[in-house]
Chains A and B, each alone.
Chain A
């Protein structure tokens, strides 16, 4: 049983106009086996939360705490966070030319578990996971994210979630840019990984569509860098019907 605790998190980013505060006191607690959906309009700070937890150097934490089972996540380097059990499925996965998917996956698995996976089991695990995600076996020989379609990139992210078996998975708009079939396949992958490993999931999304496939236990609405409203799955249904408009006071800048 693991818990990811985010308390009063404040995060800034440097822009051409100077330092800008994006997160203004976010408090969230995610336990193993729970699925939390974070929804909100563009620019509300959803992705900033994801990248700040993962430790992207662009973001500066100016206040608050993030702990995983009591350990101070903010004191860890990016790779230490991953080895501690955090996983971030990225909205825009990066190309790594010359590094094959199979080499990358094996290197990552070795790093996360601290020892090289037993070859026979590993090859089978990778093959099975790729099969579930309807990925061509030839995919393993391609360079990481190089020339991947949008859907292939997202499947590759979820493939990593399945194989690296994190305690907490943050999925940053994994649904964006997917057609219905791809969305279903990717969602099944998330559910499978969750069921098998009991991971907690923080699902960041702009749309309610993915929530039909990955059922949230909790829904948090993000507006202007903090949680504006919280509730159960019924809140997502309400957002589906009403949109985010009621969270925008009329006199607020666009």
Chain B
């Protein structure tokens, strides 16, 4: 259970089937298409858009190219290549189709797909780093694919900063037996908007970790969809977000278990500070009849640090077979605990330091799981700064 502000009791309640609006009969039945025209312009009452301020996102739904782009800086370890594919070439890779109008427009109009290729059996000592910076508020269609060959090990860190309206399609193709960690960091300026569809395709016996760190941006909405091409695949989805006044940070995950004996584990933690700070987390898991031996768990926790903030948290689990290892979810949203504060203060610790201790403690577990030291250190530093700033 999760809903925090009581004004709209019908929204955000804990449901197992997305029941409050007109639900899809199953999560699997949602439209997926490469044609922009197959998706009407959303009005905001659709199940998948109901939490999103679509009125601020009109440019994202236009079916036309803009020609704008972000500034790129990349650092590629030896053996890793960066090339450009045409959209038809990209589709020939067998990639998942876009699942909403913004993603379909981004895929169609990006003008080319940036392909990061990690060769089979490569073991990267350093992460692939891509830093994308927006310099003006034009709509940018961004289209990236990360392809990691069989048995390779790779970490990819993509950072976003600056001012932009960024509509993104990112595809991660993890070859059989590969180990992939993809970190996406959103540290946009407050005026920026970012809609992203991330598709993670987990190969047979592959292990993929997708880590979303969302700290900056006016509206950020990431849809992360995971599918498996064979048995033995493992997906870990981690997320950390911190919303200040005026920010809308939304993370939606969909794990589609079709192959048997695969695992998924999702843990997202967020803090909200300041009036009108807003976060949304939706975690959909579908275990299809064929996905015997699935083991899945998802967890979302939100910590509200001041009045007027609102967090929605909606886990959905659809199970079509009983032959599974385990399936569960947990969701909780709570206020900053005054009793914790009293306990720490009663030991002489000043209030601001006590708050920092508690918030650091709240994030400590999930941050430790990220496993990329440079990202962890940076993230904790930013959280400290956010707390020191008191939500400004």
Contact = CB atoms under 8 A, between A and B. Distances in A.
Contact of B340 (A78, A94, A160): A94
A96 B348 contact: no
Interface string A51-91: 00011110000000000000000000111011100011010
Q: Which of the listed residues B345, B346, B351 has the most CB atoms from chain A within 10 Å of its own CB? A: B346
B268 interface: no
Interface stretch (A30-38, A107-115, A175-183): A107-115
Contact of A96 (B340, B353, B363): B340
A122 to B, nearest CB: 15
A143 B347 contact: no
Contacts of B361: 96-99, 143
Q: Which of the listed residues B344, B346, B348, B354 has the most CB atoms from chain A within 10 Å of its own CB? A: B348
Q: Which of the listed residues A78, A87, A111, A112 has the most CB atoms from chain B within 10 Å of its own CB? A: A78
B340 A79 contact: no
A174 B120 CA distance: 62
B347 A56 contact: no
B322 interface: no
B345 A82 contact: yes
Nearest to A90: B343
Interface residues of B, number: 24
A79 B351 contact: yes
B357 interface: yes
Contacts of A78: 342, 345-346
B360 A82 contact: no
Interface residues of A, number: 29
A133 interface: no
A96 B353 CA distance: 14
A6 interface: no
A143 B362 CA distance: 11
Contacts of B348: 79, 82-83, 108, 111-112, 164
A166 B101 CA distance: 64
A81 B349 CA distance: 10
Interface in A89-134: 90, 93-99, 103-104, 107-108, 111-112
A169 to B, nearest CB: 12
A124 to B, nearest CB: 21
Given A79-B347, A96-B340, A103-B357, 14 more contacts: A78-B345, A88-B346, A90-B343, A94-B339, A94-B342, A96-B357, A98-B361, A99-B357, A99-B361, A99-B364, A104-B347, A104-B357, A111-B350, A164-B347
Interface of A: 54-57, 77-79, 81-83, 87-88, 90, 93-99, 103-104, 107-108, 111-112, 143, 160, 164
Interface of B: 337-340, 342-351, 353-354, 357-358, 360-365
